[in-house]
């Protein structure tokens, strides 16, 4: 007599559920990516991940600036009588922006129309003064988007640039430029150029501070307890222009130019280790001479740059264009060009497209 094995009912049910799961995974499409790299220029976004282009819905009188630090919103600015009004919209710019900070709600204040930005994902900073008070209240103010509270953060100072919620560069009329790091102030080295637009940088992981003097670039370790350790012996082996940081600060990227002809140059990019202060890798691109500065915007992955430029070689057909240069493969891709005006890359960030009202649509 032939014996036939009887499987327990629980085992058969479990096997059926497993088959359903496997079959479901094979037949259902993978969920869409919730974060994509987006290059913002004019009223357009080029989605690097998919190669699509989408158009931003821009109201009259409100100008888009870039993405918030977490990539969760586009932020905009418009002028009010006593300072800048800050607006927010979904990160794809498909919903109308809503006002996040309204200076007219503070009629006794006068805010700087130029110096404003982000301390962290939820906090704005503004330079300004409160008038019509017994004591002059002037300095850097912080505005919490979650609570709507406006407080005087650094009395007597003016913000130059906020690198993170822990590190910022401020100006004092009696003390000059001061570095604020983890709640403490530090003097900057003497001999710095008067303009700080491209002379001080802090790595995203807050471990390194880069500064430039007339004699070159220098780098200082940055610590929450000890602050910056300035040392002019720690020079960076390049005379080029700073582009950005790679992988939270593991590499610095600079570029320099070599003339090939009256109209052609070679752009050489240097990847430098901040600890060893040594060039780890270089890549170069031959290109028409670029008339804009600074022409390069580093992408969030650190392996590509966006170039905005104007081509003057053909006097009968002058046009502006944007290209993406791959610093690993050496490839280049033109993503947009126009025969009118100029183009400026406003921002390149990792964007939370899951927060958009609709998926990015290709511009015809």
Q: How confident is the model at residue 18 (pLDDT cuts 50, 70, 90)?
A: very low
pTM for the model: 0.84
Q: How confident is the model at residue 199 (pLDDT cuts 50, 70, 90)?
A: confident
Q: How confident is the model at residue 359 (pLDDT cuts 50, 70, 90)?
A: low
Which pair of tokens denotes residue 254? 């600079």
Mean pLDDT of the chain: 85
Lowest mean pLDDT segment, chosen from 32-46, 77-91, 118-132: 32-46
Lowest mean pLDDT segment, chosen from 83-87, 220-224, 263-267, 304-308: 263-267
Q: What is the pLDDT of residues 237-275, one digit of tens each?
A: 888 899 999 977 889 999 998 999 887 889 999 999 999
For position 24, what pLDDT does the model report? 40
Q: Rounded distance, CA 89 to CA 67, Å? A: 10
Q: Are 17 and 298 in contact (CB under 8 A)?
A: no
Say what percent of the chain tops pLDDT 70.
Answer: 84
Cβ contacts of 322 within 8 Å, gap of 6 or more: 39, 41, 46, 306, 307, 308, 309, 334, 335, 336, 337, 343, 345
Lowest mean pLDDT segment, chosen from 118-122, 144-148, 180-184, 190-194: 190-194
For position 136, what pLDDT does the model report? 78
Cβ contacts of 349 within 8 Å, gap of 6 or more: 37, 38, 40, 66, 67, 71, 300
Q: Which CATH class is domain 32-355?
A: mainly beta
């Amino acid at each position: 007599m032939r014996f036939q094995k009887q499987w327990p009912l629980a085992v058969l049910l479990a096997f059926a559920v497993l088959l359903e799961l496997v079959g479901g995974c094979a037949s259902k499409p993978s969920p869409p990516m919730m974060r994509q790299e987006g290059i913002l220029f004019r009223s357009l976004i080029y989605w690097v991940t998919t190669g699509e282009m989408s158009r931003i819905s821009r109201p009259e009188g409100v100008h888009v600036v870039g993405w918030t630090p977490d990539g969760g919103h586009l932020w905009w600015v418009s002028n009010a009588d006593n300072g800048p009004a800050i607006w927010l919209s979904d990160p794809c710019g498909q919903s109308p922006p809503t006002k996040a900070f309204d200076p007219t709600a503070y009629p006794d204040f006068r805010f700087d129309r130029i110096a404003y930005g982000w301390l962290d994902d939820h906090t704005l900073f503004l330079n300004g003064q409160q008038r019509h008070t017994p004591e002059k209240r002037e300095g850097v103010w912080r505005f919490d988007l979650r609570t709507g509270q406006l407080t005087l953060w650094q009395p007597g100072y003016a913000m130059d640039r906020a690198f993170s919620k822990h590190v910022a560069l401020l100006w004092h009329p009696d003390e000059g430029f001061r570095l604020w790091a983890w709640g403490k102030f530090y003097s900057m080295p003497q001999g710095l150029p008067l303009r700080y637009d491209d002379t001080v940088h802090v790595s995203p992981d807050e471990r390194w501070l880069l500064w430039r003097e007339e004699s070159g670039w220098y780098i200082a370790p940055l610590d929450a307890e000890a602050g910056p350790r300035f040392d002019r012996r720690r020079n960076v082996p390049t005379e080029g222009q700073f582009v950005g940081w790679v992988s939270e600060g593991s590499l610095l990227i600079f570029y320099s130019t070599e003339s090939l002809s009256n109209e052609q140059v070679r752009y050489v990019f240097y990847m430098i280790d901040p600890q060893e202060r040594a060039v780890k890798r270089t890549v170069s691109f031959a290109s028409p001479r670029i008339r804009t500065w600074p022409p390069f915007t580093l992408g969030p992955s650190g392996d590509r740059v966006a170039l905005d430029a104007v081509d003057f070689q053909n006097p009968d057909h002058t046009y502006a264009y944007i290209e993406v240069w791959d610093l690993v493969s050496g490839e280049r891709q033109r993503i947009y060009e126009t025969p009118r005006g100029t183009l400026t890359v406003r921002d390149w960030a990792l964007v939370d497209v899951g927060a958009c009202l609709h998926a990015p649509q290709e511009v015809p």
